[in-house]
Amino acid sequence: MDRLFINLNLVTMQTSLSNPSDGYQVINNAMIGVTNGIIEYVGPACSDVFHGHPDVIDCGHALVTPGLIDCHTHLIFAGNRANEFELRLKGVPYEEIAKQGGGILSTVYATREATEDELYHLAVQRLEGLKRDGVTTVEIKSGYGLTLDDEIKMLNVAKRIATLPDMKVSTTLLAAHALPPEYHNRSDDYITLICDTMIPTVAEKKLADHIDVFCEGIGFSIEQCQRVFHAALKHGLGIKGHTEQLSNLGGSALAASMGANSVDHIEYLDEDGVKSLAQHNTVATLLPGAFYFLRETQLPPITLLRKHSVPMAISTDFNPGTSPIASLRVIMNMACTLFKLTPEESLRGVTCNAASALGLQHSRGKIDVGMEADFALWQLNSPAELSYRLGVPDLIARVVDGVLFHEN
Ligand code: NIG
Ligand code: FE
């Protein structure tokens, strides 16, 4: 054993979803032993587990949770859309701005102009907000390039972020985010480009773990999303979708039936859709930041998700148009206040269920023997406080692969 963290008030998130009444099961005066970045012991303080000559790190009774996982972000882009924010506040709807060539496309123009270095520095600054909230794994999507080279440019930036010692990155190709202007009135041709060129190239270069789509009136149709999913699966990539955000097209059920790890947004999902998530073990990722920022009123079907035991993840959806919010704890609070999740569901949503949304449930999202040693140390008394208070720098440190990273 090479490192031993002692004096922890530990929340492992090992309790099962099927028995939510388990509660947090905080273990006071606990220890975690780590060997080569993997957890070897977790449980009550116990001298028997001392073997070898581990570094002993006294955590002074900090509350310890799994490192938080932000499982849906658009962290990489240039420019901003404060002008559209002002327009929307004057009453112009998000979909109307998109139809007039603003929205996602305005970020596409800015991102195409930017170099990899510029995009990297912008993203790393945004990442600081997530780190302050205890995030140790972040998912990052492309989707503001929409040409082969510009999508690869974005994914290269994500891979460069993945080399940081204190952050793990899961990458997603979201070429089917919006129709690029060059393909005006030829959306099927653009889908062909995605399926026949972008996905094979990105798979060959190992630049993406998942393929994502925006299945929506202002995005792509069910048939087009199905083609993209087929191509992704053929090349061994995972699938996920932006589905049922603004209307109910059936994208969630399609994605689930094809084996998606998650479907995201889902404000307009109906009970049949919820049932198909349950049937196919697909995670429902809720994005309260976008709901809040777009001043939506259609709530996601939380009661139905609970009724059918669908695991719920929550995420920032950090992006310039619908959720410029680089704080996962603000999102945890919104999940409780806007969607009425319990603080326990909210914590599950950024740990074990967020790991499942990325297909990483066997290595991250819980503190357990054999899992990667990623955790967050908090100056808090109870786990509910994570969702409760905003803006206080409660994080003491993050541990990534057993290595301690102190916050400033
Ligand atoms: O998750 N729904 C589509 N994509 C993003 C918004 C992207 C943008 O407006 O730039 C989302 O909300
Ligand atoms: Fe998104």
* Residue labelled with tokens 């704890």: 329
| Ligand 1 atom 8, closest CA | 321
The helix (run of H) or strand (run of E) holding residue 27 is: strand 27-35
pTM of this prediction? 0.97
In 3D, which of 155, 167, 162, 163 has the Cα closest to residue 208?
A: 155
Atom of ligand 1 nearest to the CA of 320: 10
The verdict on whether residue 308 carries a ligand-binding annotation is no
143 annotated as a binding-site residue: no
Residue 19 has pLDDT above 70, yes or no: no
Please indicate whether residue 139, judged by its CB atom, sits closer than 6 Å to ligand 1. no
**Spatial contact of 174 and 142, defined as CB atoms under 8 Å apart:** yes
**Cα–Cα distances in angstroms (integers) from residue 378 to residues 7, 18, 62, 325, 396, in the given order:** 13, 27, 6, 21, 5
On whether the CB atoms of residues 139 and 170 are closer than 8 A, the answer is: yes
For position 236, what pLDDT does the model report? 98
The ligand placed nearest to the CA atom of residue 243 is: 1
pLDDT at 408: 62
Q: What pLDDT does residue 353 have?
A: 97
CA-wise closest residue to 332 among 395, 251, 387: 387
Which residues hold their Cβ within 5 A of ligand 2, which is an ion? 317
Q: Is the CB of 98 under 6 A from ligand 1?
A: no
Tell me what the mean pLDDT of segment 304-327 comes to.
97
Ligand 1, atom 9: nearest CA belongs to which residue? 321
Residue 214 β-bridge partners: 242
C-beta separation of 31 from 45 below 8 A: yes
394 lines ligand 1 (CB under 6 A): no
Q: 68-70 and 135-141: which strand pairing?
A: parallel
Whether the predicted pLDDT of 21 surpasses 60: no
pLDDT of residue 25: 87
Cβ of 123 closer than 6 Å to ligand 1, yes or no, is no
pLDDT at 3 over 90: yes
N-term to C-term CA, the chain: 28
Q: What is the DSSP string of 142-174?
A: --S--SHHHHHHHHHHHHHHTTSTT-EEEEEEE
Report d(CA 238, CA 174) in Å as an integer.
12
Whole-number pLDDT of residue 407: 77
Q: How far apart are CA 324 and CA 331, in angstroms?
A: 11
The amino acid at 49: V
Question: For residue 261, is pLDDT > 80?
Answer: yes
Q: How far is the CA of 181 from the centre of ligand 1 (A)?
A: 17
Cα 338 to middle of ligand 1, angstroms: 19
Q: Is the CB of 316 under 6 A from ligand 1?
A: no
Q: Is the CB of 322 under 6 A from ligand 1?
A: yes
Nearest Cα neighbor of 244 from 274, 224, 223 is 274
Provide the token pair at 278: 């349950």
pLDDT at 175: 98
Residue with more model confidence, 49 or 327: 327
Q: Is the CB of 171 under 6 A from ligand 1?
A: no
Give the ligand at the shortest distance from the Cα of 106. 1
CATH 3.30.70.2190 fits 68-358, yes or no: no
Pocket-testing residue among 72, 74, 75, 325, ligand 1, by greatest number of atoms within 8 A of Cβ:
74
Whether the CB-CB separation of 94 and 88 falls below 8 Å is answered with yes
Taking the centre of ligand 1 as the mean of its atom positions, its distance from the CA of residue 319, in whole angstroms, is 7
Residues of the chain with pLDDT > 70: what percent?
A: 98
Of 72-86, 91-105, 113-127, 157-171, the one with minimum mean pLDDT is 91-105
83 C-alpha vs ligand 1 centroid, how far in Å?
16
CATH of domain 3-66+366-406: 2.30.40.10
Task: Please indicate whether residue 245, judged by its CB atom, sits closer than 6 Å to ligand 1.
Answer: yes
Pocket-testing residue among 322, 323, 331, ligand 1, by greatest number of atoms within 8 A of Cβ:
322
Alpha-carbon distances, residue 119 vs 67, 80, 135, 216, 379 (angstroms): 25, 13, 20, 27, 33
Mean pLDDT, residues 126-138? 98
What is the average per-residue pLDDT within 313-336?
98
Measure 56 CA to ligand 2 centroid, in angstroms. Answer: 41
Domain parsing of the chain, residue ranges: 3-66+366-406, 68-358
> Using 50, 70 and 90 to split pLDDT, how confident is the model at 298?
very high
Gap between the Cα atoms of 366 and 165, Å rounded:
20
Q: Given a cut of 80, is residue 388 above it in pLDDT?
A: yes
- Joined together, the tokens standing for residue 111 give 């991102």
Tell which phi-psi region holds residue 200, choosing left (phi > 0), alpha (psi between -120 and 50) or beta: alpha
Q: Is 144 annotated as a binding residue?
A: yes
Annotated ligand binding at 133? The verdict is no
pLDDT at 16: 58
Angle at 23 between CA 19 and CA 25, to 5 degrees: 115
Compute the average pLDDT of residues 362-373: 97
pLDDT digits (tens, 9 = 90+) for 197-252: 999 999 999 999 999 999 999 999 999 999 999 999 999 999 999 999 999 999 99
| CA 318–ligand 2 middle distance (angstroms) | 7
Q: Is 100 helix (H, G, I), strand (E, B) or coil?
A: coil
**Strand extents, DSSP E, 15-105:** 27-35, 38-44, 55-66, 68-70
Q: Does 104 contact ligand 1 (Cβ within 6 A)?
A: yes
Q: How confident is the model at residue 24 (pLDDT cuts 50, 70, 90)?
A: confident
Per-residue model confidence as pLDDT tens digits over 56-107: 999 999 999 999 999 999 999 999 999 999 999 999 999 999 888 889 999 9
Share of the chain above pLDDT 90, in %: 92
What's the pLDDT band for 22 if we cut at 50, 70, 90? low
Note whether 385 and 376 are within 8 A (CB). no
Q: For the residues of 101-118, what is the DSSP string, one character each? A: T-THHHHHHHHHHS-HHH
Mean pLDDT of the chain: 95
Using the 8-state DSSP alphabet, how is residue 319 labeled?
B
Annotated binding residue 362 = no
Q: Is the pLDDT of residue 17 over 60?
A: no
